[in-house]
Chain A
Amino acid sequence: MNPVLPGEIAIKSESDIVAARRTVRDAAMQVGFGMTDVTRIVTAASELARNVFKYAGEGAMTWRQLEEPGRMGIELRFIDHGPGIADVQLALQEGYSTGAGLGLGLPGAKRLMDELDIQTASGQGTTITLKKWRMI
């Protein structure tokens, strides 16, 4: 079992959302997540990669393996220099969306992952960090 090497891919076209999903699927499987958790992680990544493309035009996703006593995990980070999120609390509410989605993107990702951290300000871009753990 080889550990996952950290990496980064650019998100600047629609096909990059697919690439992000595939990358995250491979990484999550390598970390040893079961099929349900892999699907949760990939779905969360898909939502956030699309948000980067849709709201900021372009950005990047980084990934790395996490290791702590008794547990392993994966960290995904979505970085863009777009308009930022004016009201994070509002954006995390289900049903809220500034785009044409169901408004499930960000709150959905939060429910699927164990940790979600948002660094953003209006006009300052957005960095969203997601973590998912599994006991070992």
Chain B
Amino acid sequence: MKSKTKSPNGGGEKRLEAVTTPDMLRMLVENVRDYAIILLDPKGNVTSWSPTAERLKGWRAEEIIGQHFSKFYPPEDNVSHKTATELAVAEKEGRFEDEGWRVRKDGTRFWANVVLTALRDKEGKLVGFGKVTRDLSERRAAEEKIRKQSQEIFEMAAVPVVQVWEGILLVPLIGTLDSQRTQHLMERLLQRVTETSSPVALLDITGVPTIDSQTAQHLIETVAAVRLLGADVVLTGVRPTIAQTLVHLGIDLSNVFTRSSLTAGVRMALEILNLKVGPKS
């Protein structure tokens, strides 16, 4: 509880607020870390700048006051349209929030969260906008990294490529092959063929329920790409229904080594490698 008697001139609480509150606000604005808080006039020109804004964006107060806030946007944004929209929304709704690239004085960029707040006087007349900018570059980089890692784990699980013998890779495909999955398959298989210098890859489709013409096309492309590397693909597990479908779709696999079972495929792979497996004598 504040005591009026403490006031030296009897002006009371009102005076205390008048001295302390704007001062504390100024201290807050100048010292709060990670946020740049500035003021704009109703047209979007900078009217107040802070040391944190200078730290984040690079301009000094005398350089930026009076300038339009479109200066903070990358040139490829449709800047005049964007800033006008932001001010209009903030004026109408009281607030506008956005996340995107912003530029510093030196032209470098940072990923920012920006909140524009309409400021009105007692009569409700718009006197300007408060603008709070937060640098989220680090958070964004961290999110990007996590996304990339989980994507990689997902892709590895969807397309396992195993080395079963020196020079022989096996890709046991299970489930439906859509375009995206087949694309990942192609990239992973090629990567592994090169890394392990394997001249033969067995592509086993025993666990694939159906094949449409687009999937077949992707498989043919995969085989062609593996050949460019200098290796061969043997397509195994071609069950009767799949063989029928392929012929009915008019898909020509005559240039692709195919075998009905994985065992027959392995035998063929060994032949390609000029290897022979027999009983110990």
Contacts and interface: CB of A to CB of B under 8 A. Distances in A.
Interface of A: 1-3, 5-6, 32, 34, 36, 64-65, 67, 136
B101 A1 contact: no
A112 B152 CA distance: 22
B100 A67 contact: yes
A134 B147 CA distance: 13
B108 A65 contact: no
Contact of A136 (B74, B76, B144, B187): B144
Nearest to B151: A135
A40 B23 CA distance: 58
Given A2-B109, A64-B76, 6 more contacts: A2-B108, A3-B109, A6-B76, A34-B187, A36-B187, A136-B144
B261 to A, nearest CB: 32
B190 to A, nearest CB: 9
A3 B107 contact: no
A3 B144 CA distance: 13
In order of increasing CB-CB distance, the 3 nearest A-B pairs are A3-B109, A64-B76, A36-B187
A3 B101 CA distance: 8
A65 B101 CA distance: 11
B141 interface: yes
Contacts of A65: 76
Given A3-B74, A3-B109, A36-B187, A136 B101 contact: no
Interface string B105-145: 00111000000000000000000000000000100110010
Contacts of A67: 100-101
B75 interface: yes
A3 B73 CA distance: 13
Interface of B: 74-76, 100-101, 107-109, 137, 140-141, 144, 147, 187
A14 B187 CA distance: 32
A25 to B, nearest CB: 18
13 contacts: A1-B137, A2-B109, A3-B74, A3-B101, A3-B109, A5-B107, A6-B75, A6-B76, A32-B144, A34-B187, A64-B76, A67-B101, A136-B144
A70 to B, nearest CB: 11
Contact of A1 (B107, B141, B187): B141
Contacts of A136: 144, 147
Contacts of B147: 136
Contacts of B144: 1, 32, 136
Contacts of B137: 1
B98 to A, nearest CB: 12
Contacts of A34: 187
A6 B141 CA distance: 21
Nearest to A36: B187
A32 B147 CA distance: 12
Contacts of A64: 76
Nearest to B109: A3
Contacts of A3: 74, 101, 109
Nearest to A37: B187
Contacts of B187: 34, 36
A24 to B, nearest CB: 17
A121 B141 CA distance: 44
Contacts of B76: 6, 64-65
A1 B148 CA distance: 14
A127 to B, nearest CB: 17
Contacts of A2: 108-109
A43 B76 CA distance: 25
A32 B108 CA distance: 18
Nearest to B148: A32
A67 B102 CA distance: 13
Nearest to A72: B144
B271 to A, nearest CB: 31
Contacts of A5: 107
